[in-house]
Amino acid sequence: MTALIELRGVTKRYGDGASELMALKGIDLSIAAGEFVAIMGPSGSGKSTAMNILGCLDTPSKGAYLFKGAHVESLTRDQRARLRRRFLGFVFQGFNLLARTSALENVELPLLYRGDSAGTRREEALKALKSVGLGGWEHHTPSELSGGQQQRVAIARAIATRPAVVLADEPTGNLDTQRSHEIMGLLMALNKDQGITVLMVTHEPDMAAYAHRMVHFVDGRIVKDTPNANPTIAAPVGLGATDNAMEST
């Protein structure tokens, strides 16, 4: 399969001399379009550093990062920002929603940064909210939504720009077990039905079990990269108003 993303001999160094830290020590990683990859490892293993580089939030000290064949490590900051806006969506553990802003306005935010018109922003944000089961909840603020609903808003924000890749950093870390499995079902559906490549950092084996592939980091190196022959099959997730109404705040 043709690689969408490639890391070739990527290292990342912070500091100098006695304070030097090698967060990544020569990473080689290839990810094809349409994959669902779980990135795992203990704290300090380098997995978050790798995700920051993949998300164009940081750059390698050495090595190459190719996205669709283009050398990302050679791009300027502005060029990396344009790549993020066009091709990447982000989901965070803490949701990162604007507290006094409606769900609709939160989802519109990356479209605003991209320079889309007000009409286009509204249309795409409404579509994204509907696709994650929050049609009719557009004008609710985060404080009026459950944790699971807030994460759905965050996912809608990530996919509103129709990205090629969603990078999810511990997307279930702040949710209970039931909501965690619902969010994983939603990510699986986006991967399967919309062909979005999903890269997910997690420390939870039962969440990683949904992925098609598991990449394990230890001490700045990839120590295991294995396909998941039997990924967890998500139970059908009701995405209509009835399901939303059942979520408790």
The predicted structure's pLDDT at residue 234? 73
3-state class (DSSP) for residue 193 = helix
Nearest to 10 by CA among 26, 29, 31: 26
Structure confidence by residue, pLDDT tens digits, 124-165:
999 999 999 999 999 999 999 999 999 999 999 999 999 999
For 161-187, letters b (16+ CB in 10 Å) and e give: bebbbbbbbbbbbbbeeebbbbbbbbb
∠ Cα 50 214 66 (to 5°): 40
Is the pLDDT at 244 greater than 90, yes or no?
no
How far is the C-alpha of 206 from the C-alpha of 200, rounded, in Å? 13
pLDDT at 245 over 90: no
Q: How confident is the model at residue 242 (pLDDT cuts 50, 70, 90)?
A: very low
List pLDDT tens digits, range 186-216. 999 999 999 999 999 999 999 999 999 999 9
Other Cβ atoms closer than 10 A to 197: 22
Report residue 18's pLDDT band, with 50, 70 and 90 as the boundaries.
Answer: confident
- What's the mean pLDDT in 53-65? 96
Q: What is the pTM of this model?
A: 0.89
- Inter-residue contact 88 to 119 (CB < 8 Å): no
Q: Is 22 left (phi over 0), alpha (psi -120 to 50) or beta?
A: beta
- C-beta of residue 203 within 8 angstroms of C-beta of residue 170: yes
What pLDDT was estimated at residue 233? 84
Q: In the prediction, which pLDDT does 1 show?
A: 60
Range list of β-strands (E), 18-127:
21-32, 36-40, 62-67, 70-71, 88-92
Give the chain's domains with CATH numbers: 34-59+78-246 (3.40.50.300)
